[in-house]
Amino acid sequence: MSRRLSVSLLPELHPPHTHGGTALVIDVLRATTTATTFLEQGADAVIFAPTPEVAFARREAAGGAQVRLAGERSGVIIPGFDLGNSPLDAQRQNWAGHQIVMNTTNGTGAAHLAAQSAERVLLACLRNAPAAAVAALAYPGDLRIVCSGTNRQVSLDDCYAAGVLVRELLDRAVCQPDDSAQMVLALLNQWPDPLAALEASRHGQRLLGLGDVDAALADLALDVAFCAKVGVSDTVPRLLGSETGGLVFSANDQENTA
């Protein structure tokens, strides 16, 4: 049975048929890559907070012991947070027994918008693209890929990752791709190398530039390379539900209860 496959080049762009179904949210540089890595490294849950203030309140309510805050503004760690938005930082330790509360410039907000209309929400990136396609196709209904964009502008990095995800979905199922899905798929011909695509993007250039001017941010270039790996993770963050503190994602295969 064929299903519709749409791509929103920005979270605010809703095709008319996208209420319900499954949304796959992409912020490849770096929120969905980082969230995937935290769960891959054993975190109990990743929570996308709507604001930094909500994240601080959640840590305070928990006494701080098992809650860590991770996030950024314009690529730089939010003051008072424990970690930035680096997937390499997420990979450096085992997070079993911890909840990670995230707030970022683009990705966390995109997930909140997607959750308003989708029946299910998954987080996708290049690293988990094949696994995310398999997970999405296990559910009935139409599919929508949501690109987070950069500061409310369409971004090459997310569109490229969306193209990879479209390819993975079309390789596995009969879908009816919309025009946006066909557009992002064409990007794969322009950039056969994912790293070259991410480095060519405006957001990728910004991250690389931050590392050039501030030695403390030199690892950002390594972050970009980490985010460019395709199909190296089987972890797919799934939205379990929403609460005052944000959207709760887990790697466990449970239905969305939002």
Paired residues of 34 in beta bridges: none
In a domain, 178, yes or no: yes
In a domain, 258, yes or no: no
How many C-beta atoms surround the C-beta of residue 76 within 10 A? 15
CA–CA distance, 51 with 54 (Å, rounded to integer): 5
> Any idea which residue has 């466990």 for tokens?
252
Q: Which amino acid is at 155?
A: S
The pLDDT of residue 257 is 38
The pLDDT of residue 65 is 73
Q: In this structure, what CATH number is given to the domain that contains residue 136?
A: 3.90.1560.10
Number of domains in the chain: 1
Is 243 exposed, middle or buried (CB count within 10 Å of its CB: 0-12, 13-18, 19+)?
A: exposed
CA-CA-CA-CA torsion sign (83, 197, 180, 167): negative
The pLDDT of residue 89 is 95
In a domain, 255, yes or no: no
Q: Report the SS3 class of residue 95.
A: coil
For the chain, the first-to-last Cα distance in angstroms comes to 27
In a domain, 127, yes or no: yes
Q: Pull the structure tokens for residue 62.
A: 């928990």
The pLDDT of residue 256 is 44
Between the alpha carbon of residue 200 and those of residues 47, 104, 191, 224, 227, the distances in Å are: 30, 22, 9, 11, 14
* pLDDT per 10-residue tile (average), the chain, 258 residues: 93 75 98 99 98 95 88 92 96 97 97 95 99 98 97 97 99 97 98 98 91 66 96 98 90 55
In a domain, 257, yes or no: no
Domain ranges, residue 212: 3-250
**Rg over CA atoms, the chain:** 17
Q: Report the SS3 class of residue 193.
A: coil
